[in-house]
Amino acid sequence: MPAKHIEVKTFKLAHSTSDTVRIEHVEKPYGEYSSPVVSIAIYSGGKTKSSEVEIPYENIEEFLKALNESIALCDSIPRNTLHGELNAEVGGGA
């Protein structure tokens, strides 16, 4: 029996005009006796898969913990306010 992909959620990738992130539950990803995984894939233009990672469910808690640690690290790094030099919410252009 081939792998069965069940879509969980698809959403637009930030800072992109047409790329999406698709989260899927995958049953029997590597054959009849393999354990299910979560697939996280980036689709260019919403159609062509450009990258993918498959995480076994046994690693999900550790994966989520690492993501939260990454968010905390990112938040701890000082940055300039987006478009702060313009004193506006959006950038300008010529």
Residues 29-55 have a mean pLDDT of 94
Length of the chain: 94
Full strand arrangement of the beta sheet holding 48-56 = 4-12, 20-27, 37-44, 48-56
Say if residue 56's pLDDT is above 60: yes
Please give the residue that has the higher pLDDT: either 26 or 85.
26
Indicate the pTM of the whole model: 0.79
Residue 56 backbone dihedrals phi, psi, to 5 degrees: -65, 145
Q: Would you list the domain boundaries of the chain?
A: 4-78
CA 83 – CA 45 distance, rounded (Å)? 27
What percent of the chain has a predicted confidence (pLDDT) above 90? 73
Residues 45-52 have a mean pLDDT of 90
